[in-house]
Structure 1
């Protein structure tokens, strides 16, 4: 315990997710975390927001987002400017504003689809060469974008096993995005509710130490996060018990309170 106590310490808390922490959810160093949801539920947005707000040295593998999309979302998150404003500013005199806004970012990206383990090895080697340490957080967006894992359950399970081995060998927290089924009765009857654990594709939510499912109500922008598995804390496999935050997809921001109670949107804590 003395040797490994440091590896399991809780990661910095993000104020916007206070309702999730109140339900006993803890993100710890060296654990494997899955964020699962149906299509269009801001899984990548939540992972990007969480990673940026924790402020830890991070390596983000993105097969879904282009380099420009990722940097634009980070700039919108930091400044409160919409994506089209960021794009126009980068093409004109406002470029320095966004470069300065991202100067303190601890996230390094790796782009390419599909994600391969050769790519992961090379990026980690380069990271260690540059910083003489492993990243505190490694994000894979997403599991089904790994080479061969588009529809092959065996390959998907191999990715989960390799991700677990990666977390153990590096001490990094590994966050993976994954899909939940859009074809279940629950998805059709109540699409704005987080999927239960059995709706996560391939049953892969059994493997990580912490599995969250998410859903976004596009009318109220209420963002619901359910903890369907937690090895060292409370969870609800049915996802009927969930935390609520509020989402601004256009700014890749999440808030602890609703717009009615929040008043003017304030800048994010650095």
Structure 2
């Protein structure tokens, strides 16, 4: 049992703000304050670069991170990271790795300072997650500061079972409390709603997130990508300690560069792609 004074003293460190990412300045201006030790949900419709956004965020903060991916293959994840670090497209990275020599070494060197550790496989299970955490602690003598779960519906038995999804969210909250890590979990929004068909490039509102599960985390972000302009729209649809808009009509505007898994605060010049020979 903790008094309010003792609880504040013990948990003040875990509640501090996460390192800021320059590309997200529009999001911070809207009062979004992601914090250490929180559960954060990134929700969006299919094909909205949710995994790319989470990967870019984790790589940009470069905190000790354990990333569980059921959506991306090991090659896809590592290629995206190398592309992010060098500015080359994922196609160029793939060609360069096949080419070998100094080109291959350049991409490997670009990843040498990354603090991300991956676990791949579907479905994600709690026993496997526990084993990966134990191995991480054995290796680093500390819990990761960030845990990314990509995504909620790839947990065992959680694809369509609402009860199981609720259980996953309860487990995720317990995971954050027990480890002190920020847990970022990805989730889907409906592709079949009237809004999804009539206004597909706007972030889904809170009631469009499947299962209503965006109400559970301390912070829930809703994302959408306009494929023609590459505008990336991020709405804060739930924030326990700050402003939010459950309708998602108020959103921060970022710019996405899918071929390099990069995000920008302002429009950027898209140089012609040069293929390696």
Q: Scaled by the length of structure 2, what TM-score is found? A: 0.93
1:250 equivalenced with 2:259 (yes/no): yes
Please list the CA deviations of residues 50-84 of structure 1 after superposition, one character each: whole Å capped at 9, or x if unmatched: 00000100000000000000000000001111112
Match of 1:228 in 2: 237
SS in 2 for 1:3: helix
- Partners of 2:221 and 2:149 in 1: CA distance: 15
- Partners of 1:211 and 1:112 in 2: CA distance: 25
Q: Which runs of 4+ in 1 moved over 4 A?
A: 262-265
1:136 equivalenced with 2:145 (yes/no): yes
SS in 1 for 2:118: strand
Please list the CA deviations of residues 117-151 of structure 1 after superposition, one character each: whole Å capped at 9, or x if unmatched: 01100000000000000000000000000000010
- Partners of 1:158 and 1:44 in 2: CA distance: 22
SS in 1 for 2:9: coil
- Partners of 1:155 and 1:263 in 2: CA distance: 43
1:61 equivalenced with 2:68 (yes/no): yes
- Partners of 1:119 and 1:3 in 2: CA distance: 30
Please list the CA deviations of residues 71-116 of structure 1 after superposition, one character each: whole Å capped at 9, or x if unmatched: 0000000111111211121122211101100000000000000000
SS in 2 for 1:186: helix
Q: Scaled by the length of structure 1, what TM-score is found? A: 0.96
1:26 equivalenced with 2:30 (yes/no): no
Runs of 5+ unmatched residues, structure 1: 266-270
Q: Which has the larger radius of gyration?
A: 2
Match of 2:161 in 1: 152
Match of 1:104 in 2: 113
Deviation, 1:263, is 8.4
Match of 2:250 in 1: 241
- Partners of 1:100 and 1:7 in 2: CA distance: 32
Aligned residues: 263
Match of 2:192 in 1: 183
Please list the CA deviations of residues 188-244 of structure 1 after superposition, one character each: whole Å capped at 9, or x if unmatched: 100000000000000001100000000000000000000000000000000000000
Correspondence for 2:131 among 122, 125, 129: 122
Runs of 5+ unmatched residues, structure 2: 1-7, 273-277
| Root mean square deviation of aligned Cα | 1.2
- Partners of 2:43 and 2:15 in 1: CA distance: 23
Please list the CA deviations of residues 230-267 of structure 1 after superposition, one character each: whole Å capped at 9, or x if unmatched: 000000000000000000011000000012xx6879xx
1:164 equivalenced with 2:173 (yes/no): yes
